[in-house]
């Protein structure tokens, strides 16, 4: 029987697997092609062009940054930058997730805590984190602490509000049920509700990773001696697009990878999550 579904257009379209892959790669192919053509045109005018480096220039730059020891420090710069950035990012995100989880969960479950904290958290969440970066540098110094704090301050209100809403959406029957099974109030919160919102916490982290990178790179750009953001802003002074572009791509790939890992983790360890 001939399928009545169109291949590509309309509400009922059912693109085949191969067509799907082709369509998904189309934006990438177009983007790369446009860049290569534009770069080629510029290089015909001026072989030394720095604004749109050719692929070979970028390969050279990556080889220099990632696979050759730095003459001054004896280290692989891109690896060092990546490690210090990821350390800050991980610390910031984990601390923010922890604070956000506890705040959101307890505010949603205990009306007394909600009355005390809810408007405060909402208020804090309205502060643009970058605007208080100078305050952080003045108060806690320009060390790691300032960069980690910026991520924490930027992320925890968002996560706690998301967790709060998720907990509020759980049916009250669950709480009543747990009480009839002999749960104490704390057991309801930490043994019945908490495990049910962990996958949502992971989703929430996924969604806020973009913001976390933003805060990280901003603080590294302003005061740091290593890190991906530091390097990008350092080489900007020499118009070194051949380094900047691979670094940006690398940050993007890392972000994509974490997103995929977290999504995989939710599907693997919380099989019930998307079914309820």
Chain residues that interact with other proteins, rule: CB under 8 A: 171-174, 176-184, 187, 191-192, 195-196, 270-273, 275-276
In the complex, least distance from residue 180 CB atom to other proteins, rounded to whole angstroms: 5
Least distance in Å: CB of 113 to other proteins? 18
Residues 6+ apart with CB under 8 A from 20: none
Is 56 or 180 the residue whose CB approaches other proteins more closely?
Answer: 180
Question: Is the Cβ of residue 7 or residue 169 nearer to other proteins in the bound state?
Answer: 169
Quick one: 179 or 211, whose CB is closer to other proteins?
A: 179
CB of 274 to other proteins, least distance (A): 9
Q: Which of residues 237 and 274 has its CB atom nearest to other proteins in the complex?
A: 274
State the nearest-atom distance from the C-beta of 189 to other proteins, in Å. Answer: 12
Q: How far is the CB of 159 from other proteins (least distance, A)?
A: 20
Question: In the complex with other proteins, which residue's Cβ is closer, 250 or 270?
Answer: 270
């Amino acid at each position: 029987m001939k399928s009545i579904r169109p291949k590509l257009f309309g509400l009922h379209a059912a693109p085949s697997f191969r067509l799907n892959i082709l369509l998904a790669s189309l934006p990438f192919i177009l983007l790369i092609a446009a860049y290569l053509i534009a770069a080629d045109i510029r290089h015909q005018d001026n072989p030394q062009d720095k604004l749109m480096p050719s692929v070979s220039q970028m390969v050279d730059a990556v080889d220099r940054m990632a696979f050759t020891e730095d003459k001054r420090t004896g280290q692989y710069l891109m690896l060092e930058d990546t490690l210090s950035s990821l350390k800050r990012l991980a610390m910031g995100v984990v601390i923010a997730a922890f604070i956000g989880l506890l705040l959101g969960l307890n505010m949603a479950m205990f009306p007394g805590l909600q009355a005390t904290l809810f408007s405060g958290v909402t208020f804090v969440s309205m502060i643009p984190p970058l605007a208080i970066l100078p305050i952080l540098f003045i108060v806690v110094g320009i060390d790691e602490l300032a960069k980690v704090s910026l991520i924490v301050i930027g992320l925890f209100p968002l996560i706690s509000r998301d967790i709060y809403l998720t907990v509020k959406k759980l049916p009250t029957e669950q709480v009543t049920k747990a009480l009839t099974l002999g749960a104490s109030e704390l057991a309801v919160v930490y043994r019945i509700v908490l495990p049910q919102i962990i996958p949502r916490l992971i989703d929430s982290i996924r969604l806020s990773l973009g913001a976390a990178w933003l805060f990280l790179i901003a603080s590294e750009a302003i005061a740091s001696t290593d890190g991906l953001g530091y390097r990008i802003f350092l080489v900007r002074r020499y118009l070194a697009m051949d380094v900047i572009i691979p670094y940006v791509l690398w940050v993007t790939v890392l972000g994509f990878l974490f997103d995929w890992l977290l999504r995989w983790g939710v599907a693997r360890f919380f099989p019930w999550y998307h079914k309820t």
